[in-house]
Chains A and B, each alone.
Chain A
Amino acid sequence: EAGVVQSPRYKIIEKKQPVAFWCNPISGHNTLYWYLQNLGQGPELLIRYENEEAVDDSQLPKDRFSAERLKGVDSTLKIQPAELGDSAVYLCASSLFGQGGDTIYFGEGSWLTVV
């Protein structure tokens, strides 16, 4: 079974430029998460989707961040414009409601460097 797939793995951009990250969750998983991880720290939730609906986006900086999950499968996270402080790892994860305590499975992450 394929895991959570993210792209790109690495991205270097200049500040004020836009960037987008793509995520394909584990097949059949209805819940999709985007997490932010700063170096050496734990993941922090940005947004959680149940199918197509964003059920928790309280920690998403909406002035520059946006996300969508069309058709309840793939998702895209966008930053526009990027700031130096956005340099971090953006982790996508998925889970299946009601299964195994809703264990979250992570992708390999998209590593963003803003210069």
Chain B
Amino acid sequence: AQSVAQPEDQVNVAEGNPLTVKCTYSVSGNPYLFWYVQYPNRGLQFLLKYITGDNLVKGSYGFEAEFNKSQTSFHLKKPSALVSDSALYFCAVRDKGNYGQNFVFGPGTRLSVLP
């Protein structure tokens, strides 16, 4: 069975500092991995994904994530946080070899960037 863990409910960071939002996953095969962001009263917005290839993936708004197969992790990072990055972030996984399985979303991490 697939699963996603986001070990931190809340991450606080000062504006201008680097940020990391953690995600670990479990799938039986190889994963497709995704990050989504949700602003207040909005739907989930796609940020970036890992499908194959380079382990460092770059996405929207200066975010990037690194796929680490040995640690089964896909942490979201940004070199310099903005107040406008404050939102709810969701990691999601799907088993690459089994289309019949659905995406599984993590519980979310609330990022607060303090001015």
Contact = CB atoms under 8 A, between A and B. Distances in A.
Contact of B44 (A41, A44, A45, A106): A106
A42 B43 contact: no
B88 interface: yes
Contacts of A106: 36, 43-46
Contact of A100 (B42, B51, B103, B107): B51
B76 to A, nearest CB: 15
Interface size class of B (residues with CB under 8 A): 20 to 34
A101 interface: yes
B18 to A, nearest CB: 25
Contacts of B105: 42-44
A100 B52 CA distance: 10
A4 to B, nearest CB: 8
Contacts of A103: 34, 46, 49
Contacts of A93: 44
Interface string A1-15: 000101000000000
A56 interface: yes
Interface residues of A, number: 25
Given A40-B88, A42-B106, A103-B34, A109 B43 contact: yes
Contacts of A42: 90, 105-108
Nearest to A3: B43
Given A40-B88, A97-B99, A106-B45, 12 more contacts: A40-B108, A42-B106, A42-B108, A45-B103, A55-B100, A56-B102, A101-B96, A103-B46, A103-B49, A104-B92, A109-B43, A111-B41
Contacts of B49: 100-101, 103
Interface in A1-38: 4, 6
Contact of A102 (B42, B94, B107, B108): B94
Nearest 8 interchain pairs by C-beta: A42-B105, A106-B43, A101-B32, A106-B44, A101-B51, A108-B43, A109-B43, A42-B107
A59 B41 CA distance: 24
Interface in A50-68: 55-56
A115 B90 CA distance: 29
A106 B44 CA distance: 6
